[in-house]
Structure 1
Amino acid sequence: MENPEICNHIQEIKNLKLAKELVCEECIKIGSDWVHLRTCQTCGTTLCCDQSAHAHMTNHYHKMHHPVVISAEPGEKWLWCYKDEVFADYQ
Structure 2
Amino acid sequence: MAIVCTHIDQIQEVIPSAPGCEECLQTGDDWVHLRICLTCGHVGCCDSSKNKHATKHFHQTQHPIIASFEKGEDWGWCYVDQVELDFSE
2:30 to 26, 29, 33: 33
Which runs of no fewer than 5 residues in structure 2 stay unpaired? none
TM-score, reference length from structure 1:
0.83
8 Å Cα contact 1:38-1:72 kept in structure 2 = yes
Question: How big is the alpha-carbon RMSD for the aligned residues of Structure 1 and Structure 2?
Answer: 1.9
Give, as a single letter, the amino acid of the residue that structure 1 aligns with 2:4: I
Which runs of no fewer than 5 residues in structure 1 stay unpaired? none
Aligned to 1:8: 6
- Residue-pair matches, total: 87
8 Å Cα contact 2:10-2:39 kept in structure 1 = no
- Do structure 1's residue 44 and structure 2's residue 36 form an aligned pair? no
Between the two proteins, what is the percent identity of the paired residues? 45
- CA 1:18–1:77: 2 relative to 1, 3 Å: farther
8 Å Cα contact 1:39-1:46 kept in structure 2 = yes
Give, as a single letter, the amino acid of the residue that structure 1 aligns with 2:21: C
